[in-house]
Each structure stands twice: as structure tokens, then as C-alpha cells.
Amino acid sequence: MKLSKIIWKRFRKNKISLASALFVVILFVIALGAPFLSPYDPSEIDVSNILSPPDKAHPLGTDELGRDVLSRMIWGSRISLSVGFVAVGIAILIGIIVGSLSGYYGGWLDTVLMRFVDIMLTFPTLFLILAVVAIVGPSIFLIMLIIGLTGWMDVARLVRAEFLTLKERDFVWAAKAIGIKDIRVIFSHILPNALAPVFVAATLGVAGAILIESGLSFLGLGVQPPTPSWGNILTAGKDNIEIAWWLSVFPGLAILFTVLSYNLVGEGLRDAMDPRLWGGTEE
């Protein structure tokens, strides 16, 4: 049986991870279809419906300006997913390059790169973002960049560990023997076999990036109004917690289930990709 089929077979046995993956897919579809699924313009102000509780017209109620919360949450999902995927994309790209070079060449290059990884691990992502935002001003693109530039170290270590093992395999020595250049050996022969832990790290990284963005938006340092995000909807909920519970509950649940789903998908992938847990029963 092909490795991909074994992984899928094991993954779908984990019903919780499978349900989480379905939730992630649905969320992705909602984000892509926001212009068609949103019942109202997320920035449309309706002074006659300020802080209206959930009803038929507004299933999730309205905020302090009469804007439809459901519409704002649908559009806000785009922000959350964009931050997650872009930030993690940057982190994975840097981590793969650093980890591949470090693990393949070893020696002084490995020492230098790993010490640089150790230095980068001392930088707290959240405090660095707060410092940059205080200097430059709130910017969602800046937040994506900083999360990516401070989140690649774990990926680099995972890739390096895989390369240290794989570079001694027969297929690598055979590729070198027929004169294939190092760059092609690294990215065409070894890297495809080292990506399994990267997929798991990417899934967990998306959850972390979404959580950071939501927290910054809640503090007023992330996405700025009137652009909707789950974090700044929560800010409105904080200001009206005693009279508008829906402004806190619904975006809070959205963040909770999204982050939890990504984490559960990551856990499921990790278990499905670990040969030590196969028990020799897969054929």
C-alpha cells in the first residue's frame, strides 16, 4: 500500500481529527465565499438596530453601530486564515532552507545555523510585534511578516533532524555517485521525504498565528476598524459585555473552535505519519 494511502487510512480512523479537518475545510469555503455568503455589507451602519440581539434578520445580532455580526464574522474569517497561512508560509520557507542546508552539509555551517536558531528562539514573538507596532503603527501585513520571521526555528530543527538521517540513505549516495548536484539532491531527493513533520508543524503554526492575530486585534494593535476581524469584534463585546453577550460569545467560539480544530488536525497527522504507531498492521 502506498504511504499516502496508509496515512489517509490511519488519519480517517481518528474521528475527532477527521471532524476537525472537515470544520477547517468548511471555514476555508466560508472565507472564500464571503462575498456571496455574507447577508449584509459588513461595514453597513444601521442606527435603528444598534446592539440588537440575535433574531431572524440578524442571526448573530448587531454591534454598537448596528452592523450585522454574522457578516462581520464571515469576512473576519478571511483575515484569520490569511494571517495563518501567510505567516506560516514564510516560516516554513525559511525553516526548510535553513534546516536543509544545516542537516545536509553539517560541520561549521550546521554549527553557525543552529546557534542562530538558538538566538532567534530568545526573541518573544508577541513582545517583538508590540514593539514594532508601537514604532511603525498597526499593520496586518507587518504582523504576518513578524510572525513568519520569528516562527521558523522549530521547522528548521525538524527538517535538520530528518536530513541528518536521510542523507546517509542509499538513494542519496546513488544520486551523488551519478553526479547530481547538491542543490538537486537536497530539494528533489531528500526534502520530499522530510516533509511529514513539516506538515504537522504547519498545521499547529496556523493555529498559533490565528491566536496571536486575534489577541492583537482585541488589543487594538492588529486589524483596524472598520475592517472586520474576530479580535476587534471581541473588543466591541468587551465594551458592551453587560448588555450584548453575543458580541463576546460568537467570535470567542469561532476562535476557540478554529484554533482547536487546527491543533486536532495536527495531532491526527502526527499520529498518522508516525510509523512507530502502525504496529506492522498496514499492508
- Percent of the chain at pLDDT > 90 equals 33
φ and ψ of 16, to 5 deg:
-70, -45
User: What's the N-to-C CA distance of the chain in angstroms?
Assistant: 5
Strand partners, 62: 68
**Which secondary-structure segment (H or E) carries 10?**
helix 3-13
Check pLDDT > 80 for residue 2: no
Looking at every residue in the chain, the average pLDDT score rounds to: 86
Categorize the per-residue pLDDT at 108 as very low, low, confident or very high, splitting at 50, 70 and 90.
very high
> 278 pLDDT exceeds 60?
no
Going along the chain from its start, the domains and CATH numbers come out as 3-36+74-277 (1.10.3720.10)
Residues 163-222 have pLDDT tens digits of 988 888 888 888 888 888 888 888 888 888 888 888 888 888 888 888 888 888 887 777
| CA–CA distances in Å: residue 79 to residues 85, 148, 170, 222, 233 | 10, 16, 45, 10, 12
The grid cell for 3 is 504511504
Q: How confident is the model at residue 155 (pLDDT cuts 50, 70, 90)?
A: very high
